[in-house]
Structure 1
Amino acid sequence: MRGYFAVGVEGISKARNLGAVMRTAHAFGGSFVFTVGAANRAREMFQTDTAKTTQNLPYYDWESVDDMALPRGCQIVGVELTDDAVELPSFRHPRMAAYVLGKERGDLSPAMLERCSHVVKIPTKFCVNLSVAAA
């Protein structure tokens, strides 16, 4: 295997959604999972993570965008509905990438978008649930 990917969420508030995102990352072969600015109640996802992801993958929980410490060369790819976002099917994925989604009923913060090397969007007719978007 060459390269790696990770999946994370900024500002997540629901433990069940975080558990689903973590299971999805684990199931698809992610190398680590992370949160940025997660609500305390979301951090209780260990009860909803039936795949026991954190026993198999590193889990990083950063308080803010400034606290993020990704491996050297890792590019942040924001998943967001912006006018300039590249549609996911045509996006050329970086060899080392951390995909980050926004919170439920919200967007990625301006600070996170500024840190992104790329922004992609899922070509759907409307916004889908966070855990569906992660899959």
Structure 2
Amino acid sequence: MTNQPAPSWSHTNWPPKARGYFAIGAERMSKSRNLGNLMRSAHGFGASFTFTVGATYKALEAFADTSKSQLHLPHYNWTGLDEMVLPQGCKLVGIELLDKAIDLPSFRHPMKAAYVLGPEQGSLSEPLLERCDYVIRIPTSFCVNVAMAGAIVMYDRVRTLAKFADRPVREGGPRETSQ
């Protein structure tokens, strides 16, 4: 049996916090349940705020958000791109299944980022794509649900920008080597 170091976390500092800050939102969101699911995931992953641009969902936005994220972080409903104001230095990152987009596993997340997804049955608008500093894609054969896509990107951000222990070489930890 090898001596394993004690975990460097406890219930008071878990999960590890990623450096910088991020927000996540969607353009022309029409389904309140998708928005609620996205907001709940954003709250869980430590987002600083959530937003919509040109959304048409009904007022039941918290229906699927059992974490009540609106009580813990700001949510902005911008009617159009002309209203959207991000903090200084915040990079806008579009998430879209485009050939010219950067594959998510190769993307280096900015320290200050606002991620934006397209609507449930469509793509990010050309004006919004032009405003993006980066466009990334999740390497899938077809589009996944908006809230699912958001959760995948937020997981990738936290995984790459927070301090986690290295993955073990094999299940249960690395093998001991004989010398």
Higher helix share: 1
Q: Which residue of 2 aligns with 1:19?
A: 36
Aligned residue in 1 for 2:91: 75
Q: Is the 2:32–2:57 Cα contact (8 Å) retained in structure 1?
A: no
C-alpha displacement at 1:46, in angstroms? 2.1
Q: 2:46 corresponds to which residue? A: 29
- 1:45 equivalent in alignment to 2:61: yes
Segments of structure 1 that go 5 or more residues without pairing to the other structure are none
Q: CA deviation at 1:44?
A: 2.0
DSSP-derived class of the 1:45 partner: coil
Structure 1 partner of 2:139: 123
TM (norm. structure 1) is 0.95
> Relative contact order (alpha carbons < 8 A, sep ≥ 6): 1 or 2 greater?
1
User: What is the percentage of aligned positions where both structures have the same residue?
Assistant: 57
* Match of residue 25 from structure 2: 8
Runs of 4+ with deviation above 3 angstroms: none
1:40-99 deviation line (CA, Å, top 9, x unaligned): 41x421233211001001111100011101100000000001121000011000010000
2:122 match: 106
More strand by share: 1
SS in 2 for 1:98: strand
Q: TM-score, normalised by structure 2?
A: 0.72
Query: Structure 2: any 5+ residue segments left out of the alignment?
Result: 1-16, 152-179
CA distance in 2, matches of 1:48, 1:91: 30
Amino acid paired to 1:18: L
Residues paired across the two proteins, number: 134
Report which of the two structures shows the higher radius of gyration computed on alpha carbons. 2
Give the root-mean-square deviation of aligned CA atoms. 1.0
